[in-house]
Amino acid sequence: MPFITTTDGTEIFYKDWGPREGQAIVFHHGWPLSADDWDSQMLFFLARGYRVIAHDRRGHGRSSQTISGHEMDTYAADVAALTDTLNLKGAVHIGHSTGGGEVAHYVARAKPGRVSKAVLVGAVPPIMVKSDANPAGLPIEVFNGLRAALVANRAQFYIDLPTGPFYGFNRPGAKVSQGLIDNWWRQGMMGAANAHYECIKAFSETDFTEDLKKIDVPVFVSHGTDDQIVPYADSAPLSVRLLKQGTLKAYPGLPHGMLSTHPDIVNPDLLAFVEGKKIEGAD
């Protein structure tokens, strides 16, 4: 399996499929998952001639279970090490949830020429936690509850989350996929408990406002209105206002995990954005 080794000795696992001369698309997964969460999108773009790349964040999936570096500065530095090693130019970076924060933090710091576009899907920016500056955010008690559940029984917590709010399977009439639930649990349990614990602070308390202001490439902000993990009203509409070239599309009734529950709806819009075409229903 391919890995890069960062300056602190951390081994970062990555997948790199498709023609080397093809347009590169880099996928950034959500907490506490791995590159495997992008299967539907990687196969979709691979079949259309794109080079598709996805990595496991440190402490997640097959990457090293480190004691340190579980914050956005190091996550972005790890991505920079990967894109430098692969010498990616003009890549499109697509991030989901925590991965969307990682994309914003990386793209704002990327070397000139490395990035051409970015996509934030159900993403955590500008900032999740409630404060005087972010009164509509989620109370810190919500994230303390996640940490407590992880410590108490991570294996059960990682069943309960995908069974309920992550995919919207707790909604009346939802079409439940046991395969998605099992795959979520599988990916989560591959990672390190300490990394996942620390990452809760990284995705909930990092303020990406200045990152979003700095980004000068086109960004597609994509979000389900029934997202029970990253509430729509305090994320996507606020992010797009901070971007120089932001495009927003809200998906009525779709959940946080819409990339997996509704790839038939989401993937064509991602393709349209990558190809510079009109995204139906976008603002």
β-bridge pairing 91-96 and 219-224: unpaired
Active site residue 40: no
**List of residues 6+ apart from 110 with CB closer than 8 A:** 80, 83
CB 245 within 8 A of CB 216: yes
Check 64, 97, 222, 260 and give the catalytic one.
97
Active site residue 227: yes
Check 37, 56, 78, 227 and give the catalytic one.
227
- CA 174, 177, 180 angle in degrees (round to 5)? 125
**List of residues 6+ apart from 22 with CB closer than 8 A:** 49, 50, 51
Q: Which tokens hold the place of 40?
A: 């539907």
Check residue 120 and report its DSSP letter. Answer: E
Active site residue 216: no
Strands (E), 56-132: 91-96, 115-121
CB 99 within 8 A of CB 28: yes
| Phi–psi pair at 54, nearest 5 degrees | -145, 140
Considering just the CA atoms, what is the radius of gyration of the chain in Å?
17
- CA 26, 29, 33 angle in degrees (round to 5)? 145
Helix (H, G, I), strand (E, B) or coil at 45: helix
Residues acting as catalytic residues: 97, 227, 256
